[in-house]
């Protein structure tokens, strides 16, 4: 209301609404006498007396069995319910099939070797030595075939003549 145009040129005279209803009633009383009686629409003589019987006569001619056409179609509701059920079923199936989480053991060794072979990691052997913990590393982890202690001792017996060359102490 504060933003109304204050330069409005339309004004209502003082006391206009106080006498408005009495002025309107005076004009209506003057016009009732001046209305012409023969102008406007005319209704034929006896029209309303015979109207009721004409309507009932037309109703009797209507066949008793009529086809009722529903205004509201329920097919839309069936289609909506079926589509919602399909979406829920699809969602449940996707959730059921996606429960399996992949882990490092699921990868094939050939995939891992292929990745390291064809992707340049820019890591030198010194960088790898710093990253890999030596305490947890076992020789059998590096080699493809496992070495048994018996095989190692047999090898050393056959090819090494002096154990002292290996700087090993034999407590046997």
Q: Over the chain (172 residues), what is each successive 10-residue block's mean pLDDT?
A: 65 86 84 63 86 87 76 83 94 77 73 78 76 69 72 83 65 53
Radius of gyration of the chain (CA): 53
Which of 69-100 are b and which e, b meaning 16 or more Cβ less than 10 Å from the residue's Cβ? eeeeeeeeeeeeeeeeeeeeeeeeeeeeeeee
State the pTM of this model.
0.23
pLDDT digits over 101-121, tens only?
767 777 777 787 788 778 877
Element (H, E) at 145: none
3-state secondary structure string, 90-143?
HHHHHHHHCCCCCCHHHCCHHHHHHHHHHCCCCCCHHHHHHHCCCCCCCHHHHC
Structure tokens at 119: 């992707």
């Amino acid at each position: 209301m504060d933003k109304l145009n204050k330069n409005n040129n339309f004004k209502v005279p003082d006391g206009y609404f106080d006498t408005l209803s009495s002025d309107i009633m005076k004009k209506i009383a003057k016009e009732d006498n001046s209305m012409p009686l023969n102008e406007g629409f005319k209704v034929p003589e006896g029209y309303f007396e015979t109207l009721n019987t004409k309507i009932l006569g037309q109703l009797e001619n209507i066949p008793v069995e009529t086809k009722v056409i529903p205004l509201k179609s329920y097919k839309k509701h069936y289609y909506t319910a079926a589509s919602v059920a399909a979406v829920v079923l699809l969602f449940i199936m996707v959730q059921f099939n996606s429960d399996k989480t992949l882990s490092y053991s699921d990868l094939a060794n050939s995939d891992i070797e292929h990745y390291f072979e064809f992707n340049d990691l820019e890591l030198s052997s010194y960088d790898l030595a710093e990253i890999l913990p030596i305490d947890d590393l076992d020789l059998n982890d590096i080699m493809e075939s496992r070495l048994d202690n018996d095989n190692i001792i047999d090898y050393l017996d056959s090819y090494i003549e002096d154990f002292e060359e290996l700087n090993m102490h034999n407590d046997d």
